[in-house]
Amino acid sequence: MKTISAAVTGVRENTPTVKTITLKPAEPIIFKPGQWIYVFADNGGKKVKRAYSIAAPPGEIRLCVKCVKGGFMSNRLCNTKKGDTLEIAGPFGAFTFTEPSGDVAFIATGTGIAPFMSMLPTLTENGYTGKATVIFGARTEDEILYKDEMKEFSKRMRFEFIPVLSREPSWKGEKGHVQNVIIKKLKPDCDVYVCGLMPMVADVRKLLEEKGFDRKRVHFENYI
């Protein structure tokens, strides 16, 4: 696999456990919104690699990384600083985005929102006229990612951002899991993109099928 070096040009702390890392690769990476790259690192003499979705529109490379307790690569990335160099390869993946003719929903938990940070700017750039809904699951309010960006999207298209919190009793918005909101808010005549850890993705896919969503219009990416 051909690898290239990429300079870390910025690190932003989104929440206490999630960081957005901006990279400048030595040569351009031409990708489609929804695709991911490999990041490589040496772990005790063994070269290991992990996949990370590109969380930026084409032309830019940002990664949105959750610092997993005890995790090798995620902690490497969360400790990275501006001026460091990473070894990367890509792009890869078939979870790519086609602008829908009707409405579209994006469903994520945690850093599963990363590929949507590539897809959503594409919609605003293209003057999309349908409605885009993001249903985002997290435990607590401080885990809500990209609030400012979501406000910007709502200024530029018909857009609704629905955070759903499972462990925030005083939260005035939606509580519980993304599945509750899917049942309440989504109608089966829309395209759906789902991304996150495998149990959530499997559960949401089953729910969408039961609710009569067209399988061909449901797209998904599993993180593990």
Ligand X SMILES: Cc1cc2nc3c(=O)[nH]c(=O)nc-3n(C[C@H](O)[C@H](O)[C@H](O)COP(=O)(O)OP(=O)(O)OC[C@H]3O[C@@H](n4cnc5c(N)ncnc54)[C@H](O)[C@@H]3O)c2cc1C
Binders in 172-201 for ligand X, by CB under 6 A: 197
Q: Does 68 bind ligand X (CB under 6 A)?
A: yes
Give me the count of residues in the chain.
224
**In this structure, what is the dihedral angle of CA atoms 68, 117, 219, 112, given to the nearest 10 degrees?**
10
Phi first, then psi, for residue 206 (nearest 5°) are -65, -45
Q: Which phi and psi angles does 84 have, rounded to 5°?
A: -70, 165
Other C-beta atoms closer than 10 Å to the C-beta of 117 total 25
Q: Which of 19, 62, 66, 219 binds ligand X (CB under 6 A)?
A: 66
Contact range with ligand X by CB under 6 A, out of 62-70, 97-105, 147-155, 182-190: 62-70
Instruction: To the nearest 10°, report the CA torsion of 29, 196, 117, 176.
Output: -170
User: What mask, x for binding ligand X by CB under 6 A, covers residues 147 to 176?
Assistant: ------------------------------
Instruction: Please report where in the chains the tokens 């955070």 appear, as a residue.
Output: 163
Q: How far is the CB of 79 from ligand X (least distance, A)?
A: 11
Interface with ligand X includes 11 (CB under 6 A)?
Answer: no
Of 73, 120, 138, 144, the one binding ligand X (CB under 6 A) is 73
- In the complex, which residues of this chain contact ligand X (CB under 6 A)? 36, 50-53, 64-66, 68, 70-74, 93, 111, 114, 197, 221, 223-224
